[in-house]
Amino acid sequence: MSAMATPPLLKRLNEETVLDTIRAGAPISRAEIARRAGISKPTVSLALRALLEAGLVREAPGRPSGPTYGAIYFEPVAEASLVLGVDLGARFLRGALSDLAGTVRARQDVELAGADADTALDAIADLRDALVRAAGLSAELIDEVVVGIPGVVEPQTGLVRLATNIPRLDGRPYRTELEQRLGVRVTLENDVNLAALGEGRQGIARGVDDFMFLSVGTGLGAGLVLRGELQRGRHGAAGELDFVAIGLGEDIDPCAAALSALAEATMPEPPYDARSVFAAARAGDRSAREVVREEARRIALHIAPIAAVADVELVVLGGGIGTNSELLGDVRPLIEEWLPYPPRVEISSLGENAVLIGAVAIGLHSALDTVFVSRRG
């Protein structure tokens, strides 16, 4: 037997329905809310009063075109809740503060040269404070924090694994530590997974259901989206491509250190860092061009098995190395030669912002569900 709906429950359900209707149709009048939500005007009025008192909606300053007959229009309060997105990398800490409308109110990058996981805790807290000051808002409005890290977050234990780029991060319950430090719920996610979500939301993969985001930089990782859903795998370790070459007996590593070693063995004189190698190739240096060609082959060798198994429509290249457009002219022909159904290969359109955009996107999804409880309560 189903439980009988109590008056407080009905009141809350009506308020949630009215709030959702305003979000979908603002600016919107009381009569139009009643029509779209399918509830009476007196019930809408009671719900509106509660939502106005809670600061979740307000009277809209703008009006739709055409006659309004003196009606009052309403809109959601975007700053009723805030989402903090954080990208924790080996060299930089990036943060963005977004309101419920998805508008970034403040954005800041901080250099983290030589920082470990402990100092990163303080840096994230300091970054949060700097962002809310810049936005002119209160830290108490933050209901969701999403942090991208270069590691795997085990779904069963919550421990961080395979995190070698940030000292003292591996093996820690870092989400719990962040929640204790920040005093708010935290979602911890692999940074490449977030970059994939970012590309799917606002980048070149928007509207594509099956794609892979391949990040090539200090490390190597992939975010795989199939049928519009991010695939994390049993242990949260889907896309850890650093292990693909195990047992092959061939060096196919395309990451920064391997690229520099290849350049040193191929080019007659330094510098051998990735940025200089690509700059020299653009300037016409033949030995640098040979290094770039080999780099493209190594990247294609990592694309091919995933594309063959998952049959993705698109591969997005990102990371400090992957975003060099010179790679496309060599990667694409190899993929087309090797695979019967080659995916389209493109460079990330979001660049270093992809992780933050993905973090804010999943934070907003959760915040929109919880803001009613946190503010109305």
120 in any annotated domain: yes
Q: What is the pLDDT of residue 2?
A: 47
Q: Is residue 1 part of a domain?
A: no
In the three-class reduction of DSSP (H, G, I as helix; E, B as strand; rest coil), residue 221 is classed as: strand
pLDDT in tens, the chain (377 residues): 444 556 778 888 899 899 999 999 999 999 999 999 999 999 999 999 999 998 899 999 866 666 666 789 999 999 999 999 999 998 899 999 999 989 999 999 999 887 899 999 999 999 999 999 999 999 999 999 999 999 999 999 999 999 988 999 999 999 999 999 999 999 999 999 999 999 999 999 999 999 999 999 988 999 999 999 999 999 999 998 888 877 776 789 999 999 999 999 999 999 999 999 999 999 999 999 999 999 999 999 999 999 999 999 999 999 999 999 999 999 999 999 999 999 999 999 999 999 999 999 999 988 887 877 777 65
Are residues 188 and 255 located together in one domain of the fold?
A: no
Report the CATH number at residue 315: 3.30.420.40
Half-sphere exposure for 253 (CA within 13 Å, toward CB): 16
Structural domain contains residue 329: yes
- Number of Cβ within a 10 Å radius of residue 291: 24
Is 90 found in the same domain as 60? no
Residue 308 shares a structural domain with residue 238:
yes
Q: What is d(CA 77, CA 56) in angstroms, rounded to the nearest whole number? A: 5
Residues 239 and 323 both lie in one domain: yes
Residues 191 and 208 in one domain: no
Question: Distances in Å between the alpha carbon of 263 and those of 270, 275, 288, 300?
Answer: 8, 11, 7, 18
Residue 373 has a pLDDT of: 75
Name the 3-class secondary structure at 123: helix
- Do 30 and 161 lie in one domain? The reply is no
Which residue, among 13, 19, 8, has the nearest Cα to 371 in the 3D structure?
19
Tally DSSP H helices, then E strands, for the chain: 12, 15
End-to-end CA distance of the chain: 29
Q: How many structural domains are present in the chain?
A: 3
Are residue 162 and residue 242 in the same domain, yes or no? Answer: no
Q: Which of 30, 61, 76 is the last residue of a domain?
A: 76
Confirm if 219 and 165 have CB atoms less than 8 A apart. yes
Q: For residue 218, what pLDDT is reported?
A: 87
User: Looking at the DSSP assignment, which residues form a beta bridge with residue 234?
Assistant: none
264 lies in a domain?
Answer: yes
Q: What is the pLDDT of residue 68?
A: 61
Question: What is the rounded distance in angstroms from the CA atom of residue 195 to the CA atom of residue 289?
Answer: 28
Query: Do residue 227 and residue 332 come from a single domain?
Result: yes
Alpha-carbon distances of 199 from 85, 86, 195, rounded to whole Å: 15, 16, 6
> 324 and 343: one domain?
yes
Closest CA to 192 of 184, 200, 181, 180: 200
Q: Quick one: which of 279, 216, 204 has its CA closest to 252?
A: 216
Structure tokens of 245?
């070459």
Q: Does the residue 62 lie in any domain?
A: yes
240/128 Cα distance (integer angstroms) = 30
Q: What is the pTM of this model?
A: 0.88
Question: Residue 377: what pLDDT?
Answer: 59
Q: Are residues 255 and 359 in the same domain?
A: no
Q: Among the residues of 145-205, which ranges form H helices?
A: 174-182, 191-202
Could you tell me which residues come within 8 angstroms of residue 259 by beta carbon, excluding any fewer than 6 positions away? 274, 277, 291, 295, 321
Residue 2 lies in a domain: no
User: What pLDDT sits at residue 90?
Assistant: 86
Within a domain: 182: yes
Contact between residue 80 and residue 47 where contact means Cβ atoms under 8 Å apart = no
- Per-residue pLDDT at 5: 53
Establish if 230 belongs to a structural domain.
yes
Q: Domain of 18?
A: 7-76
> In the listed set 33, 51, 76, which residue is the last one of a domain according to the structure?
76
Same domain, 148 and 238: no
In the sheet with 104-111, reading across from the earlier edge strand, the strands are 104-111, 92-99, 82-88, 142-149, 186-190
Domain boundary among 54, 76, 98: 76
User: Do 308 and 257 share a structural domain?
Assistant: yes
